[in-house]
Amino acid sequence: MFPKTNLYRKRKLYRTPGLCEQQLRCRFSSLPSPPPPGTWSQLHRLPHRDLYRLSVTDPDRFWGSAAVDRLRWMRPFHQVRDCDFSSGKINWFVGGKINVSVNCLDVHAENHPDRVALIWERDEPGTEVKVTYRELLETTCRLANTLKSHEIKKGDRVAIYMPVSPIAVAAMLACARIGAVHTMVFAGFSSEALAAKIQDAQCKAVITCNQGVRGGRLIHLKSTVDAAVRSCTSIQHIFVSQRTEQPVVMGELDVPLDEMMSQHASVCPPEPLDSEDSLFLLYTSGSTGKPKGIVHTQAGYLLYTSMTHQYVFDYRDGDVFGCVADVGWITGHSYVVYGPLCNGATTVLFESTPVYPDPGRYWEMVERLRINQFYSTPTALRLLLKYDDCWVKKYDRSSLRTLGSVGEPINHEAWHWFHSVVGEGRCPLVDTWWQTETGGICIAPHPLEEGAPIIPAMAMRPFFGIQPVLMGEKGETLTGDSVSGALCISQPWPGMARSIYGDHQRFIDAYFKVYHGYYFTGDGAHRSEDGYYQITGRMDDVINVSGHRLGTAEIEDALDEHPAVPETAVIGIPHDIKGEVPFAFVVLKEDVGDDPTAILQHLRGLVANKITKYAVPEHFLVVKRLPKTRSGKIMRRILRKVVLETTNDLGDVSTLDDPSVVKEIVETYDLKK
């Protein structure tokens, strides 16, 4: 328990030389001293091994002191945490009032207003735009005032459907400034997918652009929003920014964003928010068809993303941080926007693709922007390594210090190429494991124990405060090393999700019931003989296409809409570049004739329209029936074995309703091959 003192005022004093020690001692008078010392400014000097130990043995002291020292509070918290996994209760920094935008903007605009906050690496190389902390604060305030003047207030949900751009970042931070809850929807999602999210979150407004530009192509965002909003009664305003010159027809709900912003003041008082007020929702895929709106809150999320950003990537003051993720994904939220900005970094917003205008794009950008940390995905690396190394080598990469990978297991070939060709063997490469639900990186080789190695293609070590546990098939905790099981986390950490929007019971059922009292990640993992973690992949019906999560049930839902299709089963199968791709088994009505080509074409369109293009199955197989258990559940495991041609080892099929179905599907598959 922290004493109820005015920590915010004290934190300002800590910064004054000479007062720190004294203030700290009185602040932590109830704690043993020394050793170990009690405040973050002292604690962070401990060797990483000791810091980790402290973070799991005394999380209150570890996270409490970090939160006091690293964040600016409007009112101090009085309790570090109040959590109970079995009831899904997760509260951090109880009683505190904070504003995330103040920590990401005002703090830095006061100290170094002219430092570049954002480098917008636009689609066309060499046309980057730099935005300083002062400018970003002003833009954010203008946008916040525009939202306020349209009656958007604390607690309202606002959808953001925008390409990677400073205005998208300002929109996120403007919501944070006034306490509105943003829900970013990746600007590649279809109108139906966007509508489903707006409806679930009951958003009051959408912020969008007229068009997006990616890989030299125009994407008509506003017309997608218009189509989505037709079925969304909650939407009162559509704010439209102009990314291109192309005018759009403005309807009744539309507000010209850039014009309105120019009429509003560049100062907006920040709303004091509870540590546990929602900051954003982000929809992700689970094992049922209904996407879930993962809820993240203020202080804990910000502290966790800023600390992981600093420690995992060895971020140092003044570095240029290059995470090439889209802001519509959690990686963009945590490591393009919130983590880097909280640390006062210069963060790169990458609008383009890795191969536009050629496969040298990333490395030409690294040279031009002098990027220090480069964070990408295995799927992009697998694509790039197929080209000649000269695309990398012709650019100066000497600014690079840390390389990172996220999204799916990284294979050895991609790891070694990234490490030795891109990083010239001199930059540590961190494979970072985490999820939308975890808020930030949970397992990564950094921070290193002094002198310890990085093992290729392995996430390795838990971050501060993370206690991984592996579970066996019977739900038992697997102790010792050289074991594989379901990856769980036994203790809460500040960055973790707090709920599923509108369905807390689903949150409890999905994450805390499977292994009672533990957070279940949905992933399998192996603990090596040295005690390091290797992620082996999803254990549920979630697949990972180019690092994007998709529920097989979501794709099936879209396919099943076709009147000639009574049922389908989708599985993920390995793919060289994308990691996995969807494979659909389709049962057709008997009266549809012999040639299913037209139907399959229609099915492709259905998935692209309902979800997005990358969800469209790469393979279809028309079958008479699907393998099911006696209780009617589709056994996708068997379908996977058919495609991988491992049906000689089917495992336990005692629950299979009619075993002859396996032979039937194998024959159909062999014929089609």
Select the residue interacting with ligand WTA from 97, 397, 498, 538 (CB under 6 A). Answer: 538
Is residue 236 within 8 A of residue 377, CB to CB? The reply is: no
Among 346, 544, 552, 612, binds ligand WTA (CB under 6 A): 544
Q: Rounded to an integer, what distance in angstroms lies between the CA atom of residue 578 and that of residue 484?
A: 25
Residue 156 or 554 with smaller CB distance to ligand WTA: 554
- From 28, 133, 434, 512, residue interacting with ligand WTA (rule: CB under 6 A): 434
Nearest to 626 by CA among 579, 580, 588: 588
Residues 398-427 that bind ligand WTA (CB under 6 A): 406-409
Least distance in Å: CB of 378 to ligand WTA? 8
Per-residue string for binding with ligand WTA, 451-490, x by CB under 6 A?
--------x-------------------------------
CB of 590 to ligand WTA, least distance (A): 39
* Binding test (CB under 6 A) with ligand WTA, winner from 180, 535, 553, 643: 535
Contact between 435 and ligand WTA per CB under 6 A: yes
DSSP symbol at 287: S
Question: Encoding tokens for residue 361?
Answer: 């794009």
Strands 483-489 and 468-471 come out as antiparallel
* CA 386/CA 456 separation, integer angstroms: 20
Min dist. Cβ of residue 596 to ligand WTA (A): 33
Smaller CB separation from ligand WTA, 27 or 333: 333
- How far is residue 525's CA from residue 533's CA, in Å, rounded to a whole number? 7
Binding residue for ligand WTA (CB under 6 A) from 432, 546, 552, 612?
432
Q: Six-digit token pair at 534?
A: 């290797």
Instruction: Give min distance, CB of 389 to ligand WTA, in A.
Output: 24
Rounded to 5°, the CA angle 44-311-459 comes to 130
Q: List, in sequence order, every residue forming a beta bridge with 129; answer none if it has no partner.
A: 120
Residue 552 binds to ligand WTA (criterion: CB under 6 A): no
Instruction: Indicate whether 549 belongs to the interface with ligand WTA (CB under 6 A).
Output: yes
Neighbours of 277 (CB within 10 A): 18
Please, is 263 exposed, middle or buried when counting C-beta atoms within 10 Å of its C-beta (0-12, 13-18, 19+)?
A: exposed
Fill in the amino acid letter for 212.
G
Q: Which is nearer to ligand WTA, 237 or 419 (CB)?
A: 419
Please tell me whether residue 575 adopts helix, strand or coil conformation.
Answer: strand
CB 87 to ligand WTA: min, Å = 24
Alpha-helical (H) ranges within 470-551 are: 504-511
323 within 8 A of 349, measured Cβ to Cβ? no
Binding-site string for ligand WTA from residue 257 to residue 296, where x marks contact by CB under 6 A and - marks none: ---------------------------x------------
Cα–Cα distance between 662 and 145 in angstroms, integer?
Answer: 62
SS (H, E, C) 379-409: HHHHHHCCCCCHHHHCCCCCCCCEEEEECCC
Q: Are strands 97-98 and 273-274 parallel, antiparallel or unpaired?
A: antiparallel
The CA radius of gyration of the chain, in Å to the nearest whole number, is: 25
Rounded to a whole number of angstroms, the minimum distance from the CB of residue 437 to ligand WTA is 7
Specify the stretch interacting with ligand WTA by CB under 6 A; choose among 65-73, 309-317, 430-438, 607-615. 430-438
- Shortest gap between Cβ of 197 and ligand WTA (angstroms)? 15
Task: Supply the minimum distance, in Å, between the C-beta of residue 291 and ligand WTA.
Answer: 12
Interaction between residue 439 and ligand WTA (CB under 6 A): no
Binding-residue pattern over the window 494 to 533 for ligand WTA, x denoting contact by CB under 6 A: ---------------------------xxx----------
Residue 534 sits in the site that holds ligand WTA (CB under 6 A)? no
Q: Site size for ligand WTA, by CB under 6 A?
A: 21
Calculated CA dihedral for residues 405, 410, 412, 415, nearest 10 degrees = -10
Whichever of 364 and 408 has its CB closer to ligand WTA, that residue is 408
Q: From its phi and psi, is residue 667 left (phi > 0), alpha (psi between -120 and 50) or beta?
A: alpha
Nearest CA to 101 among 123, 74, 130, 131?
74
In whole angstroms, how close is the CB of 345 to ligand WTA at the nearest point?
19
Binding mask 312-331 for ligand WTA (x = CB under 6 A): ------------------xx
**Given the rule CB under 6 A, which residues bind ligand WTA?**
284, 330-331, 406-409, 431-436, 459, 521-523, 535, 538, 544, 549
